Chains A and B, each alone.
Chain A
């Protein structure tokens, strides 16, 4: 029991440090998609909803599991959907129109 708790705490602290290292390198240009992506990652709570549902035996338990599953499903699918939609808008300058003077406007 105690070893389980200790290794959980180890995981938690080390994951925070890893997160800190990785995320400080993200440019501010991408902060909104980053937040949306991390939003999607906390959708991992859906695994918790699975556990809750698998252990439920009472009406209260089922109700809690249902709402948890609903929330988590919304979180995970919505989070990834939104992140991908935003990221596909970030594109490089298109190569061909680089030639000056070809613009119709001038």
Chain B
């Protein structure tokens, strides 16, 4: 090991330390930005080390330099524009696309290594194992993430797309991919077989993601994030680079944790999400009148009624849900909260799966200038409900259903916000339609609950106007 390769190896270590400390700093909104910058510094160190290494080795051709610099700079420009322009509601799509390209790049690194070695000195079994794994995980991530992004953007139906024989095709692709992979592993370095594996994996990514419903997207995006990390780590095994292994493993762990957390918060197992066919598209559940049993009645209220309740409350908890994100009503919600907080304690109680990816609702509200101190997690918010005068539920359904505390129904055991413990409840909702779990929400028939049927955005705007009128008079 000469001086340069030692320096390069130490630089990768430094970068890895930077990533770990950066992730540690993400444990509070106050330090998170510092963490993100530290991580960026780590990345610059890693890139500088890689550059130093290839300059020192001097094996790269002029064409190689051109290809590398034009590619990297071009990609960076596209990435920068996407990151700058994306609306906060569209963040899940963009994260999915970055997952896709990360997984794709990892697979290409493995393929490039294979193409270079094949027909020459031969490929050691260790490199071959890693290569085969990478050309399976990478392309699955690539196509799966693109389909997920398409579903989130609305270019691909967000309904579970299931057709007869779909499972059979998925199974066949698995057999073909694994078969061709094994053929490579037993010592045949056949390019045709490698291409076959890549194609089977790409198709598998599509058939895996298509049957998954729009509401399951937080789980899927987290899972694909984890896959990308694993693909990058395996690419590290292929080219024997510790930086890639550590970076990839950190992301694999992060995505894995989020996948499990999201699945728990939705009361579903990761396996059942992946099997798909569950849930509906964005506009789906609004069909069919609710059948809350005979005798059950709901109390309808108007914007003025809601405004009076809110204006005289001294503690208000706002519970935003998917309906708020879908109606893009975060600015109205923030405005109402700011207005009420002049005379009352107001904060937002946020369920982990509110929005379209883990933690998405917090970003939407932060963008609408809600201070993060007013964004409370479920565990912090729940003890506050019994002392709240009004809980204002905007476009959230299943996550407020008290039936979750009883066994024997689809939401049993699901972690919920204890909205029913508030002294009074206002629900803004378009209709009595069901949520994702497809059952009635018992919260709505409680005598203390007032239902204000409206779109989240216009409903909040009406309430704001009414509160203003009250305060002015």
Which residues of A line the B interface, CB within 8 A?
1, 4-5, 8, 11-13, 15-20, 22-58, 60-62, 64-94, 100, 103, 105-106
The residue of chain A having its C-beta at the shortest distance from the C-beta of B83 within the complex is A81
Q: Does B414 contact A (CB under 8 A)?
A: no
Known: A28-B261, A82-B95. 19 other contacts (CB 8 A): A8-B240, A19-B250, A22-B27, A35-B258, A38-B23, A39-B95, A39-B251, A42-B247, A44-B247, A47-B243, A48-B239, A49-B72, A50-B50, A55-B112, A73-B78, A74-B75, A74-B79, A87-B32, A91-B372
Pairwise interchain contact B359-A33, C-beta atoms closer than 8 A: yes
Q: Does B98 contact A (CB under 8 A)?
A: yes
Pairwise interchain contact A68-B71, C-beta atoms closer than 8 A: yes
Q: Hey, which chain A residues are within 8 Å of B124, CB to CB?
A: 1
**B239-281 interface (Cβ within 8 A of A):** 239-258, 261
**How many angstroms between the C-alpha atoms of A18 and B252 in the bound complex?**
11
Q: Select one of A15, A64, A79, A86 contacting B250, CB under 8 A.
A: A15
Interface centre among A39, A64, A71, A93 (most CB of B within 10 A): A71
Q: List 25 A-B contacts (CB under 8 A).
A: A1-B124, A5-B237, A19-B253, A20-B256, A20-B257, A22-B27, A23-B23, A30-B26, A31-B357, A35-B357, A36-B98, A43-B102, A44-B15, A44-B248, A48-B241, A50-B50, A50-B54, A54-B64, A66-B68, A71-B102, A71-B108, A72-B102, A74-B75, A80-B39, A94-B371
Cβ distance B434 to chain A, nearest Cβ, rounded Å: 25
Pairwise interchain contact A53-B60, C-beta atoms closer than 8 A: yes
Pairwise interchain contact B43-A15, C-beta atoms closer than 8 A: no
Pairwise interchain contact A39-B75, C-beta atoms closer than 8 A: no
Pairwise interchain contact A92-B359, C-beta atoms closer than 8 A: no
**How many angstroms between the C-alpha atoms of A54 and B355 in the bound complex?**
43
Pairwise interchain contact A44-B79, C-beta atoms closer than 8 A: no
Q: Select one of A17, A29, A34, A48 contacting B105, CB under 8 A.
A: A48
Pairwise interchain contact B373-A92, C-beta atoms closer than 8 A: yes
Q: Select one of A30, A51, A52, A84 contacting B362, CB under 8 A.
A: A30
Pairwise interchain contact B83-A19, C-beta atoms closer than 8 A: no
Q: Hey, which chain B residues are within 8 Å of A46, CB to CB?
A: 47, 50, 72, 105
Cβ distance A12 to chain B, nearest Cβ, rounded Å: 5
Q: Does B143 contact A (CB under 8 A)?
A: no
Q: Hey, which chain A residues are within 8 Å of B54, CB to CB?
A: 50-51, 53-54
Q: Tell me the count of chain B residues lying within 8 A, CB to CB, of chain A.
A: 128
Cβ distance A17 to chain B, nearest Cβ, rounded Å: 8
Instruction: Label chain B's interface by main secondary structure.
Output: helix
Closest 9 pairs between A and B when the two form their complex, measured CB to CB: A78-B79, A31-B359, A73-B75, A19-B253, A81-B83, A69-B71, A15-B249, A44-B247, A31-B358
**How many angstroms between the C-alpha atoms of A81 and B256 in the bound complex?**
23
Pairwise interchain contact B377-A73, C-beta atoms closer than 8 A: no
Q: Select one of A11, A26, A49, A93 contacting B71, CB under 8 A.
A: A49
Pairwise interchain contact B102-A45, C-beta atoms closer than 8 A: yes
Q: Hey, which chain B residues are within 8 Å of A25, CB to CB?
A: 24, 27
Known: A49-B105, A51-B54, A78-B79. A61 touches B115 (CB 8 A): yes
Cβ distance A10 to chain B, nearest Cβ, rounded Å: 10
